[in-house]
Amino acid sequence: DAGVIQSPRHEVTEMGQEVTLRCKPISGHNSLFWYRQTMMRGLELLIYFNNNVPIDDSGMPEDRFSAKMPNASFSTLKIQPSEPRDSAVYFCASNALNLKGATAVKQFFGPGTRLTVL
Amino acid sequence: KNQVEQSPQSLIILEGKNCTLQCNYTVSPFSNLRWYKQDTGRGPVSLTIMTFSENTKSNGRYTATLDADTKQSSLHITASQLSDSASYICVVSGGANNLFFGTGTRLTVIP
């Protein structure tokens, strides 16, 4: 299994530009999460999907951030327009949704995308 | 206020020694507590997950404990190896993927 795949691994862009981060979850997993990690704030959950449907986007910092999951094997996180304070490592993670409702399910993280906005 | 606090912020130990990392939380309701290991430049990797009814769980040389009454957890690393050098993150779930993250403990194991 290739694990969670993220692209690009590094992105450097100028303030005001649109940034799109991509994620392919582990095959068979039907929950997908987007996180942001900075030195100051640590890991933060931005949004998560169950069965391609956004469930909770309360962690999305501003309207400049949007996420989509058009199918079970692909998700994007878009920032438009980007700002220097968006510089962080963005992680995608996935897990199999437990149909019995248990939440103690092991989550698998991708390698992350390091975003630098100049 | 739902919070997760980890201590120490950083720790340096000699190879072969044991160490214990602490996690205190105020999250309520409580669903489960997870410990992750994050190597530099990599994504977090799950070490243990404990629910309310579990008070200890092991994964190789890693042993996590949970006291749901005092809302404390610890991660004990036995016979440390250089490869244990990483950040260790405590995450508490309030249910329904409502997650609260500690800022991590940075462990450095030196030869």
Each residue's pLDDT tens digit, B9-21: 999 999 999 999 9
B39: nearest CA partner in chain A: A111
Which of A4, A104, A111 lies at the smallest CB-CB distance from B32? A104
Which of B44, B97, B101 lies at the smallest CB-CB distance from A48? B97
Tell if the CB–CB gap between B43 and A104 is shorter than 8 Å: no
Percent of chain B exceeding pLDDT 70 equals 97
Residues of chain B contacting A103 with CB distance shorter than 8 Å = 31-32, 93, 95-97
**Inter-CA distances, B98 with A33, A57, A103, B86, Å:** 12, 11, 10, 25
What pLDDT is recorded for position A65? Answer: 96
Q: What part of B 13-32 touches A (C-beta under 8 Å)?
A: 31-32
Tell if the CB–CB gap between B101 and A48 is shorter than 8 Å: no
Q: Give the pLDDT confidence of A63-117 residue by residue, as tens digits.
A: 999 999 999 999 999 999 999 999 999 999 999 876 555 556 788 999 999 999 9
What pLDDT is recorded for position A106? Answer: 85
Tell if the CB–CB gap between B97 and A91 is shorter than 8 Å: no
Does the pLDDT of residue B67 top 90, yes or no?
yes
pLDDT tier, A1 (very low <50, low <70, confident <90, very high otherwise): low
How many Å apart are CA A70 and CA A80, to the nearest integer? 19
B14 by Cβ neighbours in 10 Å (0-12 / 13-18 / 19+) ranks as exposed
How many Å apart are CA A93 and CA B41, to the nearest integer? 15
What pLDDT is recorded for position A37? Answer: 95
Do A36 and A89 touch, CB atoms closer than 8 A? Answer: yes
Residues of chain A contacting B48 with CB distance shorter than 8 Å = none
- Residues in a beta bridge with A91: A35
How many Å apart are CA B102 and CA B5, to the nearest integer? 5
**Residues with Cβ within 8 Å of residue B87, at least 6 apart in sequence:** B37, B38, B40, B104, B105, B106, B107
In angstroms, what separates the C-alpha of B79 from chain A's closest C-alpha?
A: 25
How many Å apart are CA A40 and CA B39, to the nearest integer? 18
B107 and A CB contact within 8 Å: no
Tell if the CB–CB gap between A104 and B44 is shorter than 8 Å: no
Q: Give the pLDDT confidence of A8-37 residue by residue, as tens digits.
A: 999 999 999 999 999 999 999 989 999 999
How many Å apart are CA B62 and CA A115, to the nearest integer? 32
**Cα angle vertex A61, ends A58, A67, to 5°?**
70
What percentage of chain B's residues is helix, strand, coil (to nearest 5)? 5, 55, 40
What pLDDT is recorded for position B18? Answer: 97
Do B48 and B57 touch, CB atoms closer than 8 A? Answer: yes
Tokens 């995608």 -> residue? A92
Rounded to an integer, the average pLDDT of B77-101 is 90
Read off the tokens for B111: 């030869």
